[in-house]
Amino acid sequence: MYSIGKLAELSNISVRTLRYYDEIGLLPPAERTAHGHRFYSEEDVSKLHYILTLRNLGLPLDTIQEAIDGKQLNSRNLLEMRLKLIKEEQEKLIRMESSINSLLALTEIEGRTDWKSIFGTFYTAPNNEEVLKKIWNQHFSAEEQALLKHFPRLGDDSELAATALALFKDVRAHIKESPASEIAQQLAKRWISLVDVMYKGNLELANKVWNLNKQQEVTGFLFFQDDLINFIEKAIQHYNDTNGIELSI
């Protein structure tokens, strides 16, 4: 028989953990003295190692209890459950990484790192995908949604995302320029080219997204501040007038 202290030492866990396992009925000791001292059998030691193995796989204690109680959970069931959890965790981490990259990209655009500036420029998609789907269904057709789903996310390692980031940084850097200036006209031309590529020539959809963002409708896309919107619109209008083109955005 093993005292609780000896079992904790042999298993490299704390006495407190063993006491907790006893309290929840996961690993009660084989014997308990009149003074409350716990003693564990060889069978208890094997059971503890089984518990610790499953814990190392990341399984919750209630699932482990079900497995021990024999509630139709074999080793394959447990491994499949854990694999599912791992995949969900990986997807969550990928979403978190994408959001962080987007925020880092915005610090480059704005040239500032205070939270108020960054979140004043950035609207993330709602955490609940069903909520975002409902919003998209209100504004976009199925064909439009298919195109929007393939948009690069700011901060991605794609060439198009890098092109967009460079353009947004340049616009922010020259936002005090006259919309009719040479640099502003170059930026307008780059903006029009980027929109054409991203929206695959669907200018109607591009304008729809642009106007929704101007109205501060949360659609999951980058939200531009008023000074940038005004600069781009005036620069593009001047570009259109100069070149005899009828393009909006």
| Residue bearing the bigger pLDDT, 93 or 127 | 93
For 15-49, what is each residue's pLDDT tens digit?
999 999 999 999 999 999 988 899 999 999 989 98
For 129-142, what is each residue's pLDDT tens digit?
677 788 889 999 99
Mean pLDDT estimate for the chain: 84
Among 193, 215, 222, 220, residue whose Cα is nearest residue 105? 222
pTM of the predicted model as reported, rounded to 2 decimal places:
0.57
194 token code pair:
């980027």
pLDDT of residue 15: 95
pLDDT of residue 72: 59
199 token code pair:
């929206």
Asked if 210 and 249 touch (Cβ cutoff 8 Å), the reply is: yes
Please tell me the number of Cα atoms within 13 Å of 140 on its side-chain side: 25
pLDDT of residue 117: 57
Tell me the CATH number of domain 2-72, given options 1.10.1660.10, 3.40.640.10, 3.40.1160.10, 3.40.1080.10. 1.10.1660.10
**Is the pLDDT confidence value at 151 over 60?**
yes
pLDDT of residue 243: 80
For 14, 118, 169, 197, 206, the CA distances from 159, given in Å and listed in that order, are 51, 23, 15, 12, 20
Lay out the sheet containing 38-40: strands in order across: 2-3, 38-40, 31-32
Q: Measured in Å, how far apart are the chain's first and last C-alpha atoms?
A: 79
Among 226, 227, 237, residue whose Cα is nearest residue 179? 237
Asked if 195 and 206 touch (Cβ cutoff 8 Å), the reply is: yes
Plot region of 206 (φ>0 → left; ψ -120 to 50 → alpha; else → beta)? alpha
How far is Cα 24 from Cα 47, in angstroms, rounded to an integer? 15
For 53, 85, 112, 199, 223, the CA distances from 117, given in Å and listed in that order, are 47, 36, 7, 28, 12
Name the pLDDT band for 236 (thresholds 50, 70, 90): very high
pLDDT of residue 24: 93
Query: Which of 116-120, 224-228, 242-246 is predicted with the least confidence, judged by mean pLDDT?
Result: 116-120
Among 202, 98, 223, 99, residue whose Cα is nearest residue 145? 202
Query: Which of 9-13, 63-67, 113-117, 119-123 is predicted with the least confidence, judged by mean pLDDT?
Result: 119-123
φ/ψ of 3, rounded to 5, equals -70, 165
- Spans of all domains in the chain: 2-72, 84-243
